[in-house]
Structure 1
C-alpha cells in the first residue's frame, strides 16, 4: 500500500538498502505513484475525457480537464492512487498486496488461472497491466510462449540546471514568474535520429528509477508547486531493434540491464547518481571528482564519465544535438547544466502481441496485455485509455444481446 511505500522510499533516499518489492517502481500505483504526473498525450476524445474526470473524482484539481499541460504533481499522486483503490473497493473489487504473479495456467489456449506468490487463483480472464519494468514477468511470459517481439524505445540522459536560468530565458521579466509559475520547455533537434527533451520537470527532482538490485538509472518528478530551484529533463533519442545486438524478444531489456549495471558501478555500487558537467561531456573530459554540486538527487552524486552508460549510437546523437539546443537558447541552455544518467525507461523495449479485434494475446484466450508494459502506451493517460479499451472488449464477451459497450462500462 502507498502508506508503506512512502517510508521505504524515504529510507532508500537516506542511503539504506534497496528493497526488491517495495521501491519507487513497485507497490500500489506502480511507478506512476511517484512519477511526475503529467497528463499530456496525443490522444483526444471521450475516452480521454473520461480518464481525466476519474482523476478529478479521486482528488486531482478540477482544472486538469481543460489545462493545456495538466499536471497532477508527485506529491499528490500517492493520495490519488489510494483514492482509486477506495473507489474500486467500494465497487466490489479486491486488492491483494504482496501477491506477485509467477505463472499462468493455460489449457488448450484458454486461461484457467494464475499462480502467485500467495497461491493459485482460478480465473478465465487476466488483464495484464504490468508496466515496463516487470522484467521477471516478461521472462515468465516468454517462457510460457506468449508472443512478443522487440520494439524501439527511448533512452538517454537527464539534464539539470537552475530553474532561475530557465525562467530568465523563457520569461525575461521577473513579474511573469508570479503569474505563470516555474517555466518549462520542450525542444527537439531534427535529423536522421531526433534528439528531444522528455518529461521536463520544472522545479523538479532527479530520482532513481531502479527495479533490480545492482542496477541504476534515473527519472524526474516535480511536486505541484514546482519549487525545488532546479529544472530537469530527459534528453532522449530512439534506439531501434536492429541496434540491440540480438534478435531475442527481450534483447532490449538486456541492453537496458547492461548499461544500468555500468551506472551502478560508477555510482560507487551504492546507487549514487553519476553526473558530469554538460561542457565536460561534450569535450569528453571527466568532471573533477571534487566538483561540488548540490542538485536534487537525494542519495548523493559522484562525478563520472557518462560516455560509459549509453550505446555509441545514442551518445553520438546527444553529442550532436545538445549544441544545437544550446544555440536555440543563445548559449543559455548548457550554461551551469549538469548531465545525470542514464535514463533507460522512456518506453517499453517489448511489445506483447494481441489481436486487433479482441485485444487478447494470440493463442491465449482471456489474456489482455495492456498499457506501457505491453508496448501500447507511452504515459499515464494513454495507458489508462488503453486499459479502458481493453475493459470494453472484455465486457463485450458477457454483454446481453442488444447492449452497448458504452452503457455497460459507464454503468
Structure 2
C-alpha cells in the first residue's frame, strides 16, 4: 500500500511539473508573439496619431464589457488552435474594434499579439482558419453601417500605443481600463517571504481613484476598494497564503473619519451580498466603534450572521461561492470577538442580538458572493 502511495505522489509531482512547464511555455509564447508584432511594426515608417477618437457607432449599439469579451472569445480561439472560430462573429467584432468601440479595442490588441506568431501553426493544423486567411476572404465585409469599407486605425499598428491608450482611456473613466489601471498602483507584489509590502498613501489614493471610476461603470470591486481605503498593504490579508488577516483596528493612520465610515458602508454592501470579509468588518465596526457607533448587541448579531453564513457554505456545498482558502482566519477572528461579546452581554442583550440577526438574514440578497462580485452592472458605454 505504501508503494502505491509513493507512486501516487510521484505522479502528482510529475503532473504539477508538467502544468508549470505548460504555463511557462504559454507565457513565453505570448511574450514572443507580442514582440514579433512589435518588431514587424517597427520595420514600417508610421506616423502615429495620438488622438483619442470617439466611436462612430451609435451609443446604444456599443458593446458592453462582458459582451465584448464574449464576442471575442466566440470569434477567435487564443487558447488551443489560435484561429478563427466563427467568421461572422469576427466580422462583427472587427467592425466594433475598428470604429473605436473602447470595450472591443483591448481584445483586438490581444488578437494581434497571437495571430502573427501562430498564423503558420493554424495553416499546418488545418483545423481552423488563420486570421490572415480570414482577412483575405472577408476583408470586403468589414464595413460601416452605410456599407463603406472600414480602415484599421493606425493605433493598432504599433503595440506600444496600447499602454498609452489604456492609460488615457482609464483617465477618461472607461471602466474596463480604470479597473485594470487601479492595480498599477497598489498592491504590486509579494516579497520573498510572501508578505505584501506597504504601499504609500499616494499609491493607494490613485488606486482608489480608478476603482471608483470602475464602480461608476458597473464593476462590483468593493472588496478591493475597501482594502485600499483601510490598510497600508492595500489588501485584507498581509500575506500571499491568506493566513494573516488585517484587522480593522490596523487601519491606516492617515485615514480620515469620513473615509473610514465610507469603507464600512461598502463593507455593509458586500455583507448584504454574503461577503464573509464584509460581515467580519461589520462585526468589527460595531464592536470597536470604527465607522459605526459602538454597539455590542449589533456586533454580536453580525458575528452570529458569520456563523450562519458558514452553515450556508456547508448547506450549498459550493465553496466557490466564497474564497474558501481565505476563510479560516476569518472564522478564527470572528470566534474570538464573539467569545468576548458573550462574556459582556446580558441574557436580554443576547436575545436582542438574536432578534436583530433575523433582520440581517432578510437583508442578504444572495448567498453566492463571488458570482455577484464578478458581475458588471449594465450601462450605456460612452463612445
- TM-score by length of structure 1 reads 0.23
Structure with greater proportional helix content: 2
Structure with greater proportional strand content: 1
Larger Rg: 2
Q: Which one has more relative contact order, counting CA pairs under 8 Å at least 6 apart?
A: 1
